[in-house]
Amino acid sequence: MVRLLTPARRPRLALILASGLVGSLLSAAPALAGDAAHGKSVFASQCSMCHSPAKGGAAIMGPSLFGIVGRPVASVSGFAYSPSMKAYGGAWSEDRLRGYLPAPAKAVPGTKMMFAGVKNPAQLDDLIAYLATLK
Ligand code: HEC
């Protein structure tokens, strides 16, 4: 007799892809949420190849992130932002960074920040705590 089989639960492919190698390596060293010292190492391994944290730091692939929390979006003069980033408007609050950093291309479609995103919530908290110290 023919019976409908309960569909097997599909692997959470997106989640598996999202966690990625870098994420798994970093999450091997758990830290308290909002730990700026750990956030600095997240920045070093995932952001510093493209962003300087220094005041007036030269653009690498992306602009310096000095003062990013509270800074108007797309406001580093001389940096060639994408039209999408320019149109995003407003300023970078911690909440907006929390919305942007896990999936930049989803939050700002057309951004030229070629980065998959920080998926791990604890890493994200630590990273944002670190970004808030760049002032
Ligand atoms: C591969 C290079 C690259 C990596 C890695 C990268 N970014 Fe970016 N980022 C860019 C580029 C390029 C832009 C400009 C985007 C645009 O104009 O659409 C940008 C823009 C930004 C902005 C907006 C800046 C502004 O002035 O409005 C923020 C915030 C940001 N990145 C944070 C981060 C953080 C935090 C990380 C690490 C988790 C990171 N980025 C990793 C290349 C990168």
80 lines ligand 1 (CB under 6 A): no
Q: Is residue 120 part of a domain?
A: yes
Q: Is residue 18 part of a domain?
A: no
DSSP element (H, E) containing 121: helix 121-131
Q: Is residue 26 part of a domain?
A: no
Distance 22 CA to ligand 1 centre (A): 17
65: Cα within 13 Å, side-chain hemisphere: 23
Q: Is residue 95 part of a domain?
A: yes
Under 8 Å between Cβ of 117 and 108? no
Considering Cα of 81, then 87, then 92, then 96, what sign does the dihedral take? negative
Distance 11 CA to ligand 1 centre (A): 31
| pLDDT level of residue 117 (50, 70, 90 thresholds) | very high
Q: Is the pTM of this model over 0.85?
A: no
Range of the domain at 89: 32-131
The residue among 79, 77, 76 whose CA lies nearest residue 92 is 76
Q: How many domains does the chain have?
A: 1
Q: Is residue 89 part of a domain?
A: yes
Q: Is residue 2 part of a domain?
A: no
Residues 84-94 have pLDDT tens digits of 999 999 999 99
What would the DSSP string read from start to end of 76-120? -TT----HHHHHH-SB--HHHHHHHTT-HHHHSTT----------
Q: Is residue 85 part of a domain?
A: yes
Q: Is residue 3 part of a domain?
A: no
C-alpha to C-alpha distance for 66 and 56, rounded to whole angstroms: 8
Residue 92 sits in a domain whose CATH number is 1.10.760.10
**pLDDT score recorded for residue 4:** 56
Residues 18-74 have pLDDT tens digits of 444 444 444 444 444 599 999 999 999 999 999 999 999 999 999 999 999 999 999
